[in-house]
Every structure is written in structure tokens, then in C-alpha cells.
Structure 1
Amino acid sequence: MSRRVTRKNPTRPAATTGSPCPCGLPAPYGECCARFHAGPATAPTAELLMRSRYSAFVVRDEAYLLRTWAPETRPGEVDFDPSLRWAGLEIRDTTDGTAFHQAGTVTFVARYTHGGEQGSLHERSRFRRHEGAWVYVDGDFLD
């Protein structure tokens, strides 16, 4: 039996522990990215952090996004566009970012619809360890 994940913001899309995880891995949301969103577990690799951050954008989990953003580049808030719907994530490449590294990159394409129009975001994101946990630093948009 799945149970609804409790959300503070009622405008967030519904997510249940038994629904497919938005990150694209074959596990249900509750066994995949939700365990990182709820804490205290942290993503063990830069790629899993990237996937969990994508899922956090899907479910509009601002607290998780800010918590996993490097302090020197973290914004004061995350501005979610209510007319934007994330539609899929494809990981194209990873460099380093494992338990044996202090930094890594993840290149991905995130698909979305906005105002009825389809689009995609192609980025090479940089990650590093901060106080033992992976955090997002910044990224370069790619064509």
C-alpha cells in the first residue's frame, strides 16, 4: 500500500511512495529519490544527487534543493514556474563523482512542457563534496 508523501506546499504535484520515480530509475519514488528528500540519507554519488535534484524540481521540494546546493552559489529561494511540467531526465555522461572523488560532473537533458510547448534543458552540472555530502555547484548550458 502506498501512502502520500507529505508536502508543505499544496501546489506541488502529488507524489506517492509507490509511484514511479521521476528520475527515471526503475525503483518507486519512495525507495529512490524520496529517501534523499526526506533525509537523513544522502546521495552517495554525484549522479544520484543529480537525479534526486531533478525529482525535487518535479515535486517542487525547495528545502531539498537548497540543502543540496553549494553555499557559495545557493540562491535565497527557488522560483518554481507553476506552468512548467518536467517530463523526463536523460543522463548523458558522468565524470568522477563517486565515493572515491571530491568532485564530479553530470551531463543531462531534462525535458519539460511550458505553456503547452515542449522543450529541454541540456546542462553539464558540477558537483563537489561539502561537509561529506555531494552538493550542486553550478552548470553550463549546452546546445
Structure 2
Amino acid sequence: MAIPKAELIKMINLDEPDYQSIVKKLSTDDIPTLVELSNDPDPAIATKAISCLGLMQSEKALAGLVEIVKHPDAVRRVAVANSLKNMTSEEGVVPLLNKLLDDHDIGVKKFALKTVESGNLSPLKEKVRQMQQEANTTLKALAQQVLQKL
């Protein structure tokens, strides 16, 4: 049974939520509410819901993250890039990271690169190689660092 939306907001809307403990209390029934909360006008609630989705380890949660990749708010896309570190489905994560690595926002690209690095996602090696041509020197250096580890 899904946790009521108001209760879920109380669980996640803390200064420093213990995401592991929260996710242990959640089920796949809660994923639609988390996806809904990822579009909350309050970015703090939205990003915390996104973090929970990343820890859910389910295709349904991953599908929820797909929609957020298209969100106009870069803060939410950064949260998706970061939350993908926790997903174990390389098959589902690689296409999302591929899109995030093409994002127009530098922060989104940075977190996507860090996720590629932490997951050792070699299918994205060529994309990372191309990022060595970035105009932004920080992204260029990070791409070079990630490439050495892939």
C-alpha cells in the first residue's frame, strides 16, 4: 500500500534525510507519488524525491527518472544525474546519462560525468572522449579524468 503523499513529504522534507532508511519503508506503490513530487514547485522536495527514486532499484523508478531528464529546471536534472549513481541497471542508466552528457547546463554534465566515473560505465567511453573537446576547462579536465578510469 502506498504511503500518503503528505506523509511522504514529511519523510523526505528534512535538512538531511536518511535516504536509505526512507527507501526501506517505500515500495513500488510509492513510485508514482515520488514522480509527482519530483515536479513539486519546491525544488528541495523535488530533488529529495528524485534521490529516493534513484535508490529504489526498479525499472518503474528508472522510468520515472526518464521524465525528469526532460525537466526545464537544471537543478532537477543535476539531481537525476547524481541519483543514477545508485541505479544498478546499466542498460537503463546509459541512455539517460547519454542525454544528460549532452545537456546545455554545465552542472548537469559535470554530475553526469561523475556518475559515469563512479559506475565505470564503459559504454559511454566514446561520449566522454568527445567531451574532451568541451570549451569549459573544468568539464574538459573532468572528461579526461573519467576517460582514464574507463
The answer, yes or no, to whether TM exceeds 0.5 is no
Q: Name whichever structure is richer in strand by fraction.
A: 1
Q: Which has the higher contact order (CA 8 A, sep 6+)?
A: 1
The higher radius of gyration belongs to 2
Q: TM-score w.r.t. structure 2 length?
A: 0.29
Q: Name whichever structure is richer in helix by fraction.
A: 2
Q: TM-score w.r.t. structure 1 length?
A: 0.30
